[in-house]
Amino acid sequence: MQNIKVGTPVYHYMNMKSVGEVIEISTGPPRSGNWTTEGTSFGQAYASVRYADGTVVRHILGELMRADLD
């Protein structure tokens, strides 16, 4: 577990050179296709990340890696 919270420096696993800071963590409705083995749906956790160029992107929390652990 990476313990990502507001203020943590992170990067998306598909774009490791862009480091941003988490500004908000929220939950949302399940994406289509997110089902458990018994057939019940589950929600998704999201993190809003502000990058150095000022853009804010909402990522799935599980796709982020802590930048301060490298």
Per-domain residue ranges of the chain: 9-69
Q: Dump pLDDT digits (tens) for 16-68.
A: 999 999 999 998 876 665 555 665 566 789 999 999 999 999 999 999 999 98
**pLDDT at 1 (0 to 100):** 52
Q: Residue 68 in contact with residue 7, Cβ under 8 Å?
A: no
Rounded mean pLDDT, 3-25: 94
- For residue 69, is pLDDT > 70? no
Q: Residue 27 in contact with residue 43, Cβ under 8 Å?
A: yes
- For residue 70, is pLDDT > 60? no
For residue 49, the tally of other CB atoms under 10 A from its CB is 24
What is the CATH code for 9-69? 2.40.10
**pLDDT at 68 (0 to 100):** 81
**pLDDT at 40 (0 to 100):** 59
Say how far apart CA 19 and CA 24 lie, in whole Å.
15
Beta bridge partners of 50: 21, 56
For residue 57, the tally of other CB atoms under 10 A from its CB is 13
